[in-house]
Structure 1
Amino acid sequence: MNRSGITRKLVWAVVALCVCVLIFAILAYRPAIATVTRPDPRLFDPALVVRGANLARLGNCVSCHQSASGRPYAGGYPVKTPFGTIYGSNITPDPATGIGAWSPTAFRRAMREGVGRDGSHLYPAFPYTHYANVTESDLGALYAFLMTRPAVRSVPPANTMIPPLGFRPLLAGWKLLFVRPQRITPDANQSAAWNRGRDIGETLAHCTACHSPRGLFQQEKRGAQAYDGGWSGGWYAPPINAHSPAVQAWTVERLDAYFRTGLSTAHAAAAGPMGSVTYNLARAAPTDVRALATYYAWQMRDAPAARLEPPLPDRQALASQGHPDGAQLYEGACAVCHEPGAAMMVAGRPALPLGTPLHEDNPRDTIQIVLKGLHPPVSPRGPYMPAFADALDDRQVAEIVAYLQMRHGTGPAWKNLEKDVAKARKEGE
């Protein structure tokens, strides 16, 4: 090929690239929405504010919008992703650092499209992929609730994303590839409670965000893989569908009690990110919590435990022979609370074999509970377990976990436990 032919091809390649960049810029562009004067909180209907408060609890909003030492809804909570750390924004009505200058239109766009008032694209750690289906009236109630919170002047830390993901217009491409909102319509073959539970669970509660696997670009896997289990904050969120590893069935009554108290005597206590979920659900409208229990018990209706609840064998002698160091460590650190007849067991706490973590296909939750302990998820009188991260090294934690899994677990033995403990400990820093 002569030089002029090569030159023409290069020119056309540059032109094509420029056209693609222009098209992408057009697709990515979102105009800013004009600021407004913060609405007077007294102008909102009190009933609407109460309704919004209930919706915020169902959505667990405060958990991602409050740092460990911060004020409610003032932001700062770190959400760690494979691409960097994203910090929850300030959604109090402070005009300078929060959303006090946002109009209802700007708020609605952020919730439905993941675009801030200034036109910037929001990271999908903010689950607008679910909020797109929240009704107009519910969005109005949420707006009323947030605009009547105390205004807090607070600027969360800057996000730390790997290059070039700090360039927010790229998120427009992510949305183009992966955001497919589907309108939720009532199922006439199901009860009103089931339909209400689905509406809450699939939108504001965004349960698939934690309980579904994600792809290479952190997009949720929907369809047949929805609720097949996922990861959140270094914890494993187990499947809550027909693949649920629970050894006793999740009935409506058991789920309802678990959501309201953070404890199921037939399963275990809420731990990790689920602790804050139950804390908020315990303060939500009981009918809505019952509706969620109705929908998710239905999701798990075909799980093995729903068909049969066999007695679980206690393989103590076998586990002691297989992991003598773990058995000795368990006897010194754990047996006083967890063996039959212990005060904690007499008080009605679920037995270790019933806990879902020991029956999952990975050891992460069991490891995290040993390292971090368990704090009462709903009320000070709730279940408690001390953390052993400072008292036990990685090998000792691995030995205890291996012993527990051999003694009470129902799946194949976990491998490389010491490495898993080290990884879990690092993620908790």
Structure 2
Amino acid sequence: MLYGMLFLSGGALFALALTWRPAIAPIPVPAPGSFPAGMVERGAVLARLGDCAVCHTAEGGRPLAGGRALATPFGTLYSDNLTPDPDTGIGTWSAEAFRRAMKDGVSRTGSHLYPALPYEHFTHVSDGDLDALYAFLMTRRAVRQKAPANRLIPPLGFRPLLAGWKMLFLHKGAIIVDPARSAEWNRGAYLVEGLGHCGGCHTPRNIAGGEVRSRAYAGGIAEGWRAPPLDRSNPAARGWTPDALYTYLRTGISPDHSAAAGPMGPVVESLSAVPEEDVRAIATYIASRMAGADAGSPSRPTPDDPVRAARLFPEGATLYAGACAGCHGPGAPMMGQGRPALGLASALRDEVPTSAIQAILRGIEPPVAGRGPKMPPFADSLTDAQVAAVLGYARSRYTDRPAWSKLDRAVARARKESAQP
């Protein structure tokens, strides 16, 4: 009995030692003028490349002040305040403390951070870039705003458990330069795998929430939307070239492919204001990952068989004629404004209907200065069965892909997810 108690106590102490991280002493809030202007400007670009404001700004809130609800399979997390407020933000954090948070997922006080902060990618960012990002954040206007308490499934609110998660899924180290590739490709690899954290959405995750590295960029889920594969399984009707990807990432639309929707909209908004060479590098790297995808020739017409589709989905044909054809039908005025044909839309061709469903339920907003395709939401005007009927009809009419199975259940599930948190 005594030996058992000693063994358990020793095991507990060992586990505690593995999870314990020391606090880093607070510092006085640095004066904004203490950071070189060039460093701050570089940090501003890096913040856009990392989409910092997207997750760290609550709806209708002050930029970077945190409090945005982030729905996860394990409950709801709320993003932290990244402004230099000394009490509720990072005003008393040193550059060392900031680097540790970004690379190791540990806060200044020593507590483990949840991987909603994608430190599994940020760990690959150079110290110089992290210091520039720190300089940018510390020169923003301080906002006093405390994030709400996280709402997680017990016992996941016990942060020391995250130490075990990191042992399994946090892989540190710099992005290795490939000498056989161009400087542009290597720059793209560094941005995509690091600050851009594209794999955070476009890679499937396991039951513990870790990225399945053996299936990198095979598609994932982001805020209830499907992040399509960025590998050879990409469902595009026409292969993505670096130029097409550049246009899409910069403007939110590629006439031969898709329009940005859902979480991709804010990404495009951020990338529209960074140096062109960085976006081209990202496009070059991602296009290389998708090289060899089974996509048709740009000159090949897309399918359009309304008779067959109406026979299979009569209700969908009626609904489509009333709600969709005015913008998406052949000869519709909207089609002359750079809107991709439905047969080219990746969401309609994907093996998973999630994003096509969400586009109907939530609509699409132009991500850059109000320019580009806009689609109203139909969540309040169409039932789950009607959404399923419209999508079944559209997929049958405009693509050569097999019908989605159990589409009505997928619509119900997507509608529930779109209402969270």
Same fold at TM > 0.5: yes
- Please say if 1:352 is aligned against 2:303: no
> Following the alignment from structure 2 to structure 1, what is the Cα–Cα distance between the partners of residues 222 and 211?
13
Aligned to 1:185: 176
Task: Please point out which of 109, 122, 125 is paired with 1:118.
Answer: 109
Task: Please point out which of 202, 208, 213 is paired with 1:211.
Answer: 202
Q: Is the 8 A contact 2:361 2:415 kept in 1?
A: yes
Amino acid in structure 2 at the alignment position of 1:157: P
Q: Is the 8 A contact 1:249 1:309 kept in 2?
A: no
Amino acid in structure 2 at the alignment position of 1:277: V
Aligned to 1:5: none
Question: What does the per-residue CA deviation read over 1:333-386, in whole Å, with 9 as the maximum and x for residues that have no partner?
Answer: 000011121111012211110000111111111100001110011121222111
Amino acid in structure 1 at the alignment position of 2:213: R
Shift of 1:96: 0.7
- Please say if 1:104 is aligned against 2:85: no
Shift of 1:184: 1.3
Aligned to 1:198: 189
- Note the 1:18-417 alignment, pairs <5 A: 18-223=9-214, 225-305=215-295, 310-417=300-407
Amino acid in structure 2 at the alignment position of 1:38: V
> Following the alignment from structure 2 to structure 1, what is the Cα–Cα distance between the partners of residues 217 and 279?
19
How many residues align? The count is 419
Question: What does the per-residue CA deviation read over 1:93-131, in whole Å, with 9 as the maximum and x for residues that have no partner?
Answer: 111100011011110110110000111000011011111
Aligned to 2:415: 425
> Following the alignment from structure 1 to structure 2, what is the Cα–Cα distance between the partners of residues 22 and 413?
56
Shift of 1:23: 1.0
> Following the alignment from structure 1 to structure 2, what is the Cα–Cα distance between the partners of residues 46 and 85?
37
Question: What does the per-residue CA deviation read over 1:191-230, in whole Å, with 9 as the maximum and x for residues that have no partner?
Answer: 110000000000000011000011110000113x100001
Amino acid in structure 1 at the alignment position of 2:399: G
Which residues of structure 2 form unaligned runs of 5+?
A: none
Q: Is the 8 A contact 1:247 1:309 kept in 2?
A: no
> Following the alignment from structure 1 to structure 2, what is the Cα–Cα distance between the partners of residues 313 and 268?
16
> Following the alignment from structure 1 to structure 2, what is the Cα–Cα distance between the partners of residues 279 and 217?
31
Amino acid in structure 2 at the alignment position of 1:77: R
Larger displacement relative to structure 2 (165-174 or 410-419): 410-419
Instruction: Tell me the secondary structure at the aligned position of residue 86 of structure 1.
Output: strand
Q: Is the 8 A contact 1:66 1:73 kept in 2?
A: yes
> Following the alignment from structure 1 to structure 2, what is the Cα–Cα distance between the partners of residues 417 and 327?
16
Shift of 1:306: 7.2
Amino acid in structure 2 at the alignment position of 1:63: V
Amino acid in structure 1 at the alignment position of 2:14: I
Amino acid in structure 1 at the alignment position of 2:202: H
> Following the alignment from structure 2 to structure 1, what is the Cα–Cα distance between the partners of residues 253 and 4?
62
Amino acid in structure 2 at the alignment position of 1:357: A
Q: Is the 8 A contact 2:338 2:372 kept in 1?
A: no
Instruction: Tell me the secondary structure at the aligned position of residue 70 of structure 2.
Output: strand
Shift of 1:169: 0.6
Larger displacement relative to structure 2 (304-313 or 22-31): 304-313
> Following the alignment from structure 2 to structure 1, what is the Cα–Cα distance between the partners of residues 292 and 351?
18
Larger radius of gyration: 1
Question: What does the per-residue CA deviation read over 1:234-265, in whole Å, with 9 as the maximum and x for residues that have no partner?
Answer: 01111101111111111010000001101000
> Following the alignment from structure 2 to structure 1, what is the Cα–Cα distance between the partners of residues 347 and 132?
37
Shift of 1:57: 0.5
Amino acid in structure 2 at the alignment position of 1:25: L
> Following the alignment from structure 1 to structure 2, what is the Cα–Cα distance between the partners of residues 100 and 382?
39
User: Sequence identity of aligned pairs in percent?
Assistant: 52
Q: Is the 8 A contact 1:211 1:227 kept in 2?
A: yes
Amino acid in structure 1 at the alignment position of 2:90: I
Q: Is the 8 A contact 2:304 2:399 kept in 1?
A: no
Shift of 1:18: 2.1
Shift of 1:398: 1.0
Shift of 1:285: 1.1
> Following the alignment from structure 2 to structure 1, what is the Cα–Cα distance between the partners of residues 21 and 103?
14
Question: What does the per-residue CA deviation read over 1:128-172, in whole Å, with 9 as the maximum and x for residues that have no partner?
Answer: 111111111101100000001111111111110111100101101
Larger displacement relative to structure 2 (337-346 or 14-23): 14-23
Instruction: Tell me the secondary structure at the aligned position of residue 13 of structure 2.
Output: helix
Instruction: Tell me the secondary structure at the aligned position of residue 22 of structure 1.
Output: helix
> Following the alignment from structure 2 to structure 1, what is the Cα–Cα distance between the partners of residues 305 and 149?
50
Q: TM-score normalized by structure 2?
A: 0.97
Aligned-residue RMSD, C-alpha: 1.3
Q: Is the 8 A contact 2:242 2:283 kept in 1?
A: yes
Amino acid in structure 1 at the alignment position of 2:51: N
> Following the alignment from structure 2 to structure 1, what is the Cα–Cα distance between the partners of residues 233 and 9?
48
With over 3 angstroms needed to count, the CA separation of the structure-2 counterparts of 1:306 and 1:13, relative to structure 1, is farther
Amino acid in structure 2 at the alignment position of 1:367: I
Q: Is the 8 A contact 1:250 1:306 kept in 2?
A: no
Q: TM-score normalized by structure 1?
A: 0.95
> Following the alignment from structure 2 to structure 1, what is the Cα–Cα distance between the partners of residues 241 and 331?
27
Amino acid in structure 2 at the alignment position of 1:217: A
